[in-house]
Chains A and B, each alone.
Chain A
Amino acid sequence: MGATTGADRPRKKIQRKRLPVAPYFVALLAVIGVLWASSVAGAGLKFPTPKLGLDLQGGLSMTLTAYLTNSDDQPDEETMEQARQIIESRVNSTGVAEPEVYVEGNENIVVNVAGHDTDEDALRDVGAPAELRFRIVTASTQDFSVLEDLDLGDGEEPTDEATDGASDEPTGESDEEVGDGEEPTDETTDDNSGGAQVDTENDQDDQDQTPQGDASIEDILAKVGEEAATMAQSLTTVPTDEASLAALEPFGELTPEEVGLLPASVQYYVPTITCEQLDARPPGSVQEPDAEVTACQPAVTEDGQMVAPPQKFLLQSATVLGSDVASADVGTDQASLNNFVVNVEFTSAGAERWGNLTTENVGQNVAIVLDNEVVSAPTIREASRNTTQISGDFTADEANQLADQLNFGSLPISFVVQTINDVTATLGVVQLEAGLLAMGIGLALVFLFCLVYYRILGLVVLGSLTTAAVVLYPLVALLGSQIGLTLTLAGVAGFVVAIGITADSFVVYFERIKEEMRDGRSARSAVPRAWIRTRRTILSANTVSIIAALVLYFLAIGPVRAFAFALGVSTLVNVLVVFLFTHPIAEWMARGRVLSNVHLSGLHTKAVPAPGKARG
């Protein structure tokens, strides 16, 4: 290794290993292009904007009020906190948006989500009790209101109905026909009082009182009229003849709350009680496991066409409950991949009960009841134990939501949605503007510093940071539109700090170059050598950040999770920019004379390297 060979060799080597920079820039442009294209597509062919958090752009605010059967009771603090946490988990499970969920007063839970384009129905579902019950089906029939529509359409429908279970007409039917003449008068008066009742209900709603009237079954039966009441209570099949329908018509005017108080058999056998009424019953109406209940399965529609009308079910008491579910996840139907199903695994006690239920009722239908609605009612083909599959007419989102609800458990108490309002940002515009101004000034100072300190390399820093911003912006916008990543002010500040950490990669690199040149190398040989060492440092240090991001993302919840996401994204962008932009551009610059000029580069090459001092 004489000094003579040492002088020639490196130059040859560099010549040979000269890094082709073009592919890097092409790759970088491709990445930027893909990101911008997809974020523009994600934003609906508009200029993509990141999804801003509650503090910056406001959003929707939903107030849920606890609904207790006994209106004098107040839910205790612990129950409310438990409910708050479950609701928070549900909101959080949909992404890394940063919702605000808090208890207001004694019986309200407020859910604030960022953005005004949030789906209101989805937000409402967040407050659903998510009580799951498995009940054996006693009888089922089509919803009367649909039959009525079909009746008007074509007269063939009643035959259908007859087969549905009302083949033998009760003898009491003719008696009831007599009362038919009196019915209209009753109905009109009832109608008025019913209307008044509804108004009161609404008023109560507005005063954030739990809408629980003092109405008892007797009052309701009195309201529909004695005849209709007696008839309804004696029904054992669903009547279809017009006379009985007319006689029972007052039931159609009852409020959902009132319907909920009627015995399950009345709810089922009275055809004038529609699924619309049943579905709107107060939360928890069919929750009692030991009671017989009536519930509806919503109509199945395909491409806007109703392929199956709503079904009314009379259901036995439930032995298998939501608390028997150990875990739930989303899968697809084996037959058709477009059908999403929820796979349910039972706890050991649950498996026991489920096993008994299915063994005893082979050939019968079991209804899977979630809150007030029947999700599906499959026939039990054979006894099963540990798992089951819930298949409804689910979209992927609905299936996910159901799985989440089962996993996070049911709410300890029921809630009704009181209000859904638009709310403005929590931070004033002043704060935001001042924050942005400050960050702008800060970044300008960084640029100034880099230009003074690194001179021409400062421009590389500038270019790299700009590239980082150009990559980061569409990425954040894309994630905002796809997985609901919201950018709060804290998040913006976090990204600014991330820029500092990004800049560190350049600092490490340039300091290395300086060091190599101080040892007597030319820019041409110093830059590639410095890169080899820098790469190691950058990868080690960024591994730390990536581990932090992954662990916090998968284990933490709420704001911590959003932080982890921002950290991970900015670290990846950092590595990307250093590898695809900073390094190639430094290599490229090293080929010219710019870096060899002390005044331009600020890099001092030792004039006379002492013999033996140059490193290996």
Chain B
Amino acid sequence: MSTHNTDKPLSMWSKLYRGETNIQFVPHRKRWYLFSAIIIAASIAVMIVKGFSLGIDFAGGNQYTVPAEGDVTITEVEDAASAAGAEVASGQIAGSVGDQTFIIRTATLDGDQSQEVRQAMAEAAGISADDISISEVSATWGASVSQQALIALIIFLILITGFIWLRFERRMAVAALGALGHDLVLTAGVFSLIGFEITPSTMVGMLTILAYSLYDTVVVFDKVQENTANLLQTRQRTFAEGVNEAINETLMRSLNTSLIGALPVGALLFIGVGMLGVGTLKDLALVLFVGIITGTYSSVFLAAPWVVDMAERSPVYKKHNQKVANKRSGTRDEDDEDDAPNAKTEDLPIELVEEEEEPATAGAGSRSGGSRQGAKRQQQKRRRKR
């Protein structure tokens, strides 16, 4: 399907830059499916085996109230607690100058550990351990927050399916949801594997990924729809080939976008891990980093090929594939394939196009609704231009 024969062969980079690559996304889709299936299975396995560590906001923890005396700083007390084995979730100074207390919250500790931490803090603060009060604190992320979020998500997914269905077609709506599920499972799996904490920040990160994944898929589908709008009226390419070409043409966009999205997040991640070791930032950055990469991957390698799979099950596309095959075997010698792969229906008189459209529509029913609308829109656009 190499369409552009230039004098000298282009390097891979140039091809990529010009959108002229010919990577077999669709023909080799079984490979990507297998690859993704393995990754997803691994993610689920990791989640089942390792589970998630819930942050203090979800699981609750301990709160130490340390009276501040002398010139001890909160950082010293926090460090002492960390050294004694506590996972410090937050440290705040309460009260006004002169009458301050440090409020330090940690993940749940059992009795002995808790006493050790208390002792360590007391030493760091230069006070007696009895002055430090310990209390258990509940989760701040209540069940109602999760419940409401879940309801909102379900309604959102229903609406978004409706939107993609109307704007594109049913198959694309299904594929977009599938890709979304893939991204969320994979991100959660990586999260579980690395053992980062589930915090409100990371939950928000997951939501960001959800929005990004759908956004990216829609951009790719937009291109696919454009490229395959008039496909059924000609016998030049099969649907699978059309989709593959669309993915290749939009590949540079996908790469650029994910790169631009991932660069700041990556910087956050590596500086977060490298400089700070712990904290909200690192967890959040990891979710976003993994999510952006899988979001881009799934749009290109999974969502679009899935659409092909679903389309090829319908009689309309089966018939069309047959037509293309017939044409290729029948006319291979006299009419070079390279001659007119890009000659879309625009080059044909309108009347001819409409005549050809009829039988296809009759067979397709509502299924080709999306592409038919696309074709009409294209025709109108063409008419306006003439």
Contact = CB atoms under 8 A, between A and B. Distances in A.
Interface in A441-494: 441-443, 445-446, 449-450, 453, 488-491, 493-494
B95 to A, nearest CB: 5
B288 A497 contact: yes
A102 B271 contact: no
A104 interface: yes
Given A103-B138, A511-B252, A494 B19 contact: no
Nearest to B91: A426
Interface in A407-444: 421-428, 430-431, 434-435, 437-439, 441-443
Given A434-B271, A500-B264, A615-B346, A453 B204 contact: no
Nearest to B151: A555
Contacts of B141: 558-559
A563 B207 contact: yes
B212 A501 contact: yes
B256 A507 contact: yes
Nearest to A488: B201
A541 B218 contact: yes
B272 interface: yes
Interface size bucket, A side?
35 or more
Interface in B213-256: 214-215, 218-219, 222-223, 226, 249-250, 252-253, 256
Nearest to A427: B280
Contact of A428 (B75, B153, B271): B75
Contact of B347 (A504, A554, A612): A612
Contact of B152 (A428, A533, A551): A551
A540 interface: yes
A547 B159 contact: yes
Nearest to A612: B343
Contacts of A491: 204
Contact of A489 (B142, B250, B281): B281
Given A431-B276, A604-B18, A445 B264 contact: yes
A604 B257 CA distance: 21
Contacts of A240: none
B276 A439 contact: no
B93 interface: yes
Interface string B181-212: 00000000000000000001101110110111
A560 B203 contact: yes
Nearest to A490: B201
A515 interface: yes
B257 A500 contact: yes
Contacts, number: 273
Interface stretch (A78-86, A153-161, A255-263, A265-273): A78-86
B310 interface: no
A540 B167 contact: yes
Given A435-B272, A508-B253, A615-B344, A548 B204 contact: no
Contacts of A81: 138, 142
Contacts of B33: none
A432 B9 CA distance: 50
Contacts of A103: 137-138
Contacts of A488: 201
A446 B264 contact: yes
A450 B151 CA distance: 40
A457 B68 CA distance: 56
The interface centre, meaning the residue of B63, B144, B203, B260 with most chain A CB atoms within 10 A of its CB, is B260
A345 interface: no
A423 B68 CA distance: 13
Interface residues of B, number: 91
Contacts of A602: 17
B155 A551 contact: yes
B260 A449 contact: yes
Contacts of B156: 547-548, 551-552
Contacts of B204: 490-491, 494, 559-560, 562-563
A490 B280 contact: yes
B281 A431 contact: yes
A46 interface: no
A555 B262 CA distance: 30
A12 interface: no
A438 B267 contact: yes
Given A507-B257, A518-B19, A560-B203, A497 B212 contact: yes
Contacts of B96: 422
B148 interface: yes
Interface string B263-279: 11111101110011001
A541 B222 contact: yes
A174 to B, nearest CB: 55
Given A497-B261, A560-B148, A615-B342, A514 B155 contact: no
Given A423-B103, A431-B280, A503-B260, A541 B140 contact: no
A490 B284 contact: yes
Contacts of A431: 276, 279-281
Interface string A286-303: 000000000000000000
Given A442-B265, A489-B281, A497-B288, A547 B212 contact: no
A334 B176 CA distance: 52
Given A430-B276, A434-B275, A612-B340, A102 B137 contact: yes
A567 interface: yes
Nearest to B152: A555
A66 interface: no
A546 to B, nearest CB: 10
Interface in B131-147: 135-142, 144-145
Contacts of B18: 514, 518, 604
B40 interface: no
Given A102-B137, A533-B226, A616 B385 contact: yes
Contacts of B260: 446, 449-450, 500, 503-504, 507
A499 interface: yes
Nearest to A560: B149
Contacts of B201: 488-490, 493
B374 to A, nearest CB: 11
A442 B263 contact: yes
B148 A441 contact: no
A110 B270 CA distance: 35
B324 interface: no
B271 A545 contact: no
B293 interface: no
A446 B330 CA distance: 51
Contacts of A551: 152, 155-156, 159
Given A493-B285, A612-B340, A544 B140 contact: no
A533 B262 CA distance: 26
B219 A445 contact: no
A180 interface: no
A61 interface: yes
Interface of B: 17-20, 60, 63, 74-75, 90-96, 103, 135-142, 144-145, 148-149, 151-153, 155-156, 159-160, 163, 167, 200-201, 203-205, 207-208, 210-212, 214-215, 218-219, 222-223, 226, 249-250, 252-253, 256-257, 259-268, 270-272, 275-276, 279-281, 284-285, 288, 292, 340, 342-344, 346-347, 382, 385-386
17 contacts: A425-B92, A438-B285, A449-B260, A493-B201, A493-B288, A496-B264, A499-B264, A500-B263, A511-B253, A514-B19, A515-B19, A515-B249, A541-B218, A544-B214, A544-B215, A613-B343, A616-B385
Given A428-B91, A431-B279, A438-B271, 7 more contacts: A104-B138, A427-B90, A536-B222, A537-B219, A558-B145, A559-B141, A612-B340
Interface of A: 1, 55, 58, 61, 80-81, 84-85, 88-89, 98, 100-105, 108, 110, 421-428, 430-431, 434-435, 437-439, 441-443, 445-446, 449-450, 453, 488-491, 493-494, 496-497, 499-501, 503-504, 507-508, 511, 514-515, 518, 533, 536-537, 540-545, 547-548, 551-552, 554-560, 562-563, 567, 602, 604, 612-613, 615-616
**Nearest 10 A/B pairs, CB to CB:** A442-B264, A500-B261, A616-B346, A442-B267, A555-B152, A103-B138, A426-B90, A105-B135, A438-B271, A490-B201
